[in-house]
Amino acid sequence: MSRTIALTGATGFIGGVLARRLETIGWQIRALVRPASLGARYAGTATQWIEGDLEDLDSLRRLVNNDVYAVVHCAGAVRGASQAQFDGVNVDGVARLVQAAREQHQMPRFLLISSLAAREPHLSPYAASKRQGEDTLATTAGDMNWAVLRPSAVYGPGDKELLPLFRWIGRGIAPILGSRSARFSLLYVEDLAESVVHWLNSDTNERRAFELHDGHPDGYAWHDVVDTVAQLYDRHVFRIQVPVVILRLLAGLNLGAAQIFGYAPMLTPGKVRELNHSNWVCDNDALTRETGWAPRVSLAEGLQRTLRLGD
């Protein structure tokens, strides 16, 4: 059996952690890198880098050819100003990569890193694109062995989305961005990487989407997260509930500015709808049953590592 994994997204937060974990346990990594991101390649490893883009089918053929055991598709657009921007990466990119994988004489297994957001595709262009990416894989995979992972919100060192918020809380100010009653699951990035390892090591042929989170029953409310950071820093934290109308206003302005100045925004009206969704709690049972994976890192431990407390 080949020990090579074709990986996308290795220059990003999750893909970088995943690549290093896979290399540590003896997998060879062939990773896609966009020309503009050559500087973001991690150093000191044996990763073979293939210059290309999800928009370029030939580069994807070079990525997956010559007997790769599996394709782990972790690249994705997490910010964007329009449905077309998300779809171009999260839907069309999946379609091209599946095509390249299926052209191989020895078809690899295919693991798509989607998102729990795909469970509620009506909420945002991002969520819709992740769901459509999953559907594209399911309908075009043919005989290929595939699965989808739907992680809840992922955090850890190197994260650009949640880490700034955790740092603010550590300084004593906690903007509460979602509704008070909203509950959500979280997942430490190394537990996500470990779930991929378990899927690769298992011989499961369950072609479906698997949700995953840190195992905390019934997820968290924002106040649980603030309490945990406050305990780690042993300080009082001042909480500010940001009214949803203000968030919507800021998101609308940000989206308008992004369309004018051509950047990819994170805070958009769709993101506000995601933040206000009442139930982002999920369930590990199916993935644990199929692969034996179970999360190990609690929120307190994960935050301690993420904020590098005690280093």
Ligand X SMILES: NC(=O)c1ccc[n+]([C@@H]2O[C@H](COP(=O)([O-])OP(=O)(O)OC[C@H]3O[C@@H](n4cnc5c(N)ncnc54)[C@H](OP(=O)(O)O)[C@@H]3O)[C@@H](O)[C@H]2O)c1
* 75 sits near ligand X (criterion: CB under 6 A): yes
- Owner of token pair 């809840």: 152
137: DSSP letter: H
Q: Which of 34, 198, 207, 248 binds ligand X (CB under 6 A)?
A: 34
Please provide residue 134's backbone torsions phi and psi, each rounded to the nearest 5 degrees. -60, -45
Looking at residue 235, its amino acid is R
User: Angle of helix 269-276 relative to helix 125-140, nearest 10 degrees?
Assistant: 80
Given 5, 15, 98, 251, the residue binding ligand X (CB under 6 A): 15
> Which of 83, 80, 10, 12 shows the shortest CA–CA distance to 47?
10
Binders of ligand X among residues 203 to 222 (CB under 6 A) are: none
55 interacts with ligand X by CB under 6 A: yes
Location of structure tokens 């934290």: 237
Residue 36: which residues within 8 A CB-CB, separation 6 or more? none
86-145 residues in contact with ligand X (CB under 6 A) are 89, 93, 113, 115, 130
What is the closest distance, in whole angstroms, from the C-beta atom of residue 280 to ligand X in the complex? 11
Q: How far is the CB of 163 from ligand X (least distance, A)?
A: 10
HEC string for 13-34: HHHHHHHHHHHHCCCEEEEEEC
Of the candidate spans 4-12, 169-177, 244-252, 278-286, the one that interacts with ligand X by CB under 6 A turns out to be 4-12
Q: How far is the CB of 162 from ligand X (least distance, A)?
A: 7
The reply on whether position 85 binds ligand X by CB under 6 A is no
What residues make contact with ligand X under the rule CB under 6 A?
Answer: 8-9, 11-15, 32, 34, 37, 40, 53-55, 74-78, 89, 93, 113, 115, 130, 151, 153-154
